[in-house]
Amino acid sequence: MAAFNLGHIYATGRDDFPQDMEKAIQWYEISAQKGYASAQYNLGNIYAQGTGGVAKDWVLAGQWVLKAVQRDHHKAQMDYGFMLLAGIGVPENRTEGIQWLAKAAKDPATFKLLQERVALVCASTPGAVEKEPCTRWMKGRKP
């Protein structure tokens, strides 16, 4: 846990530590190699977003997110589901993607975040707001 905390401090640039993504990645990797799912998930996000000057690498992001998924990390399950649906960083598999989204939705906090993301997709897709399952998601009911 200490390695994860140091990674987080370097990733965010808190306290007396300036942001340093190389050090953040080093500390997150130590924690991730020990099986800490939040470190695995954060590494996936760093590589997916290209945070702090780190080159975007969707394949590496998918590998780290999958490790967190395998440790039952709910936000990782949601992100991995979206990655599978779009075929970003992982081979496209819509059936498995939906299964991971459904599993992630069982966690109330993740369901709320998932609801917000689906609502954004529905709102930005012409004609989708009036169709199922968009209307259910936007009203807060699980599909």
pLDDT tens per residue across all 143 residues of the chain: 899 999 999 999 987 889 999 999 999 999 999 999 999 999 999 999 998 888 999 999 999 999 999 999 999 999 999 999 889 999 999 889 889 988 999 999 998 888 888 777 767 766 655 555 566 655 655 54
pTM, two decimals, is: 0.83
The single residue listed with the structure tokens 């997916």 is: 48
DSSP 53-109: GPPP-HHHHHHHHHHHHTTT-HHHHHHHHHHHHHTSSS---HHHHHHHHHHHTTSHH
6: DSSP letter: H
